[in-house]
């Protein structure tokens, strides 16, 4: 067979959240080489392992259901591939499963996040301030545009709060944000908007991307 396109779903947590996207690609390439999987290389003067990540993850954010595309030159049992890769993975990176892709990268439309805000302000007060921010006519942030540089962007129409409630001393927010080619608002944009509006000096913000979805709301896979 010439090649079989595969998609790996993986978790990035712990110390691995501080691995940059470029270093993540290098780490995955090393793991694929060391696992002796019959991985497919690009053709040309500088052959290298083909890797593609449908949606890059921001530095410092935990990823509970991330995706990586690669190809192999021989058919193989997917569970065996997963186990072989995991033996070569560093702490904090773990392959959850491997399968043939169902959707294309261009189908990505949203991402779900769990964000915990910690500060000297009580969680109920933080919730009240968040609700006030969401009641405003606009929530404007400075967002980079490829053609215009930094521009003021109203992100309020794109914020979908699934739930927000006190969780011990933290305010826990589950939010769905646009992701992909048409519009991309990551967790950092949302947390910065809340920080700017509230004027709270957060002692810690813990963000996890829990799910990637298609533009029609189906789970990306």
The first and second tokens of residue 126, run together, are 């933080």
Q: DSSP letter string over 124-173? A: HHHHHHHHHHHHSS--EEEEEETTTEEEEEE-GGG-EEEEEEEETTEEEE
What is the per-residue pLDDT for 182?
85
Question: What's the full length of the chain, in residues?
Answer: 221
Indicate if the pLDDT at residue 150 is higher than 80.
Answer: no
The first and second tokens of residue 221, run together, are 């896979």
Cβ neighbours for 179, distance < 8 A, ≥ 6 positions apart? 55, 108, 109, 110, 111, 185, 186, 212
What is the per-residue pLDDT for 200?
96
In degrees rounded to 5, what are phi and psi of residue 164? -150, 125
Domains of the chain: 4-101 (3.30.70.580), 106-214 (3.30.70)
The answer to whether 108 and 25 are in contact (CB under 8 A) is no
What is the per-residue pLDDT for 1?
57
Place of tokens 């990035």: 12
What is the per-residue pLDDT for 170?
97
What is the per-residue pLDDT for 152?
87
Strands (E), the chain: 4-12, 62-72, 93-99, 108-118, 140-145, 149-154, 160-167, 170-178, 204-214
What is the per-residue pLDDT for 44?
79
Residue 182 CB-half CA count within 13 A: 10
What's the whole-number mean pLDDT along residues 129-147?
89
């Amino acid at each position: 067979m010439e090649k079989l396109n595969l998609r790996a779903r993986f978790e990035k947590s712990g110390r691995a959240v501080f691995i940059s996207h470029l270093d993540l690609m290098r780490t995955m390439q090393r793991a694929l080489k060391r696992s002796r999987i019959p991985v497919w290389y690009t053709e040309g003067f500088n052959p290298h392992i083909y890797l593609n990540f449908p949606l890059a993850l921001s530095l410092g954010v935990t990823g509970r259901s991330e995706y990586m595309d690669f190809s192999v030159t021989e058919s193989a049992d997917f569970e065996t591939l997963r186990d072989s890769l995991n033996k070569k993975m560093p702490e904090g990176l773990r392959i959850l499963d491997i399968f043939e892709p169902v959707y294309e990268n261009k189908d990505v439309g949203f991402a779900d996040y769990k964000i915990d805000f910690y500060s000297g302000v009580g969680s109920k007060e933080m919730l009240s301030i968040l609700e006030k921010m969401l009641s405003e006519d606009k929530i404007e942030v400075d967002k980079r545009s490829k053609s215009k540089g930094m521009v003021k962007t109203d992100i309020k129409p794109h914020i979908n709060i699934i739930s927000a409630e006190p969780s011990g001393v933290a305010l826990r927010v589950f939010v769905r944000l646009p992701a992909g080619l048409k519009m991309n608002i990551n967790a950092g944009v949302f947390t910065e908007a809340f920080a700017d509006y509230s004027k709270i000096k957060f002692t810690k913000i813990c963000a996890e991307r829990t799910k990637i979805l298609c533009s029609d709301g189906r789970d990306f896979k």
